[in-house]
Amino acid sequence: MSRLTFTADDFGLSEAVNEGIERAHRDGVLNAASLMVAGDAAEDAVRRARRLPNLRVGLHLVVIEGPAILPPSEIPDLLGPNGQFPSDQLRLGLNYFFRPRIRRQLAAEIRAQFAAFAATGLPLGHADAHKHMHLHPTVGNLLIRTGRDFGLTTLRVPTEPPATLRACGETIGLGGELLPRWSALLRRQAQLAGLRTPDAVFGLAWSGAMTEPRLLRLLANLPPGACEIYFHPAAGRDATLDRLMPSYQHEAELAALLSPAVRAALPA
C-alpha cells in the first residue's frame, strides 16, 4: 500500500459530493473515493470516475442509513418503511447477528452491491462500509468473503491510534481508546483472507470536520506505516447533506484537500 492515502467517502450520494470529489482529485491531494452504488447520484459518480483514471475507486458498502440495491420485495426485513436501511445501529447490529433470515437477506444485498460495482467496469480499488458497519463481525465477514469473489484486495480497518490524536491536541474518550482493540478482529479476518489493510486510519474523531488546521497537525504527527485519512468533501450544501449530515463541514473539508499548505506538508 502507498504510504498515505486520502479517501473521500459517499461518492454517489449527491452531485455536490461528486463535484467536490472530482475537484479534490483534479486540483488537490485526493487519490481515492468510496462509491455508494445505490446512491441517487451514483451514475454521475461513475461518469466522473471514468474520466479520472488516477482516482482509485472502491465500494462504500451501505447496510445502514441509506439505499439498497435489491428491491424491498427481496430484502423485506432489512429495510424501513421508506425503502431504505434504518439508522438504528444497535437494532441493526442485533438483527444482523442473531436472526438467520435477516443474515441471508444481508448476504444477498452485500453480493448485489459488489455486483453493481463490478457492472460499472471500474477496477475495485478497496472496500469499506458506511458508518464503519463492517466492524460488526457479521457484516465484516460477509464483506470479506463476498469481496474476495469480486477481486477485493484492500480493506479499510478503522483503527485510529489514540497516541497520534493526543499528539494533535485531541482529548480521547473511552470509545477512542477501545476502538483499536475492537477493530483487531476485523484486521485479523482481513489478514486471514489475504487482504491488505492500512496500519492506521484517521477521520473518526474528526468525522465531517477534517479541516485544514487539523489536517496539518495530523500530517505533522503521522505514525509510521501505511496511513489512510478519509474525508466527506462537497462542492456546496444541498438538501441531501442538510438532511443526513447537517453538522458536517463538507466545504471546509474540500478546502483542506485543495490547500497548498497541505500539499507542501505531505511526507516525502
Which three cell numbers, joined as nine digits, stand for 182? 475492537
| Average pLDDT of every residue of the chain | 96
Domains of the chain: 4-265 (3.20.20.370)
Integer Cα distance of 184 and 181 in angstroms: 5
Of the two residues 78 and 174, the one the predictor is more confident about is 78
User: What dihedral angle (degrees, nearest 10) is formed by the CA atoms of 45, 78, 231, 141?
Assistant: -110
State the Cα–Cα distance between residues 142 and 99, nearest whole angstrom.
15
Crossing angle, helix 137-149 and helix 174-192, to 10 degrees?
Answer: 30
| Whole-number Å distance between alpha carbons of 64 and 89 | 7
Residue 257 has pLDDT above 80, yes or no: yes
Please state the pTM of the whole predicted model.
Answer: 0.95
Closest C-alpha among 106, 92, 91 to residue 145:
106
Q: In sequence order, what are the residues at sequence separation of 6 or more whose Cβ sits closer than 8 angstroms to the Cβ of residue 31?
A: 2, 5, 6, 7, 25, 54, 55, 56
pLDDT tops 60 at residue 69:
yes
Average pLDDT over residues 78-90: 93
Q: How far apart are CA 79 and CA 222, in angstroms?
A: 40
Give the residue-averaged pLDDT of 16-29. 98
The answer to whether 63 and 41 have CB atoms below 8 angstroms apart is no
Contact yes or no for 40/193 (Cβ under 8 A): no
Distances (CA, A) of 31 to 34, 76, 221: 11, 37, 21
Work out whether strand 84-85 and strand 66-67 pair parallel, antiparallel, or are unpaired: antiparallel
Summarize pLDDT for 213-241 with one digit per residue, the tens.
999 999 999 999 999 999 999 999 999 99
How far, in Å, are 35, 79, 81, 160, 243 from residue 68 at the CA level?
A: 13, 8, 13, 29, 18
Which pLDDT score is estimated for 2? Answer: 60
**What digits encode the pLDDT tens for the residues 132-147?**
999 999 999 999 999 9
CA distance 247 to 242: 8
In angstroms, rounded to a whole number, what is the distance separating the alpha carbons of residues 192 and 205? 28
Query: 218: part of which helix (H) or strand (E)?
Result: helix 212-220
Residue 95's nearest CA partner among 131, 133, 145 is 133
User: Please, which pLDDT band fits residue 250 given cuts at 50, 70 and 90?
Assistant: very high
Query: Which cell numbers hold the place of 94?
Result: 442485533
Q: What is the helix, strand, coil percentage profile of the chain, to 5?
A: 45, 15, 40
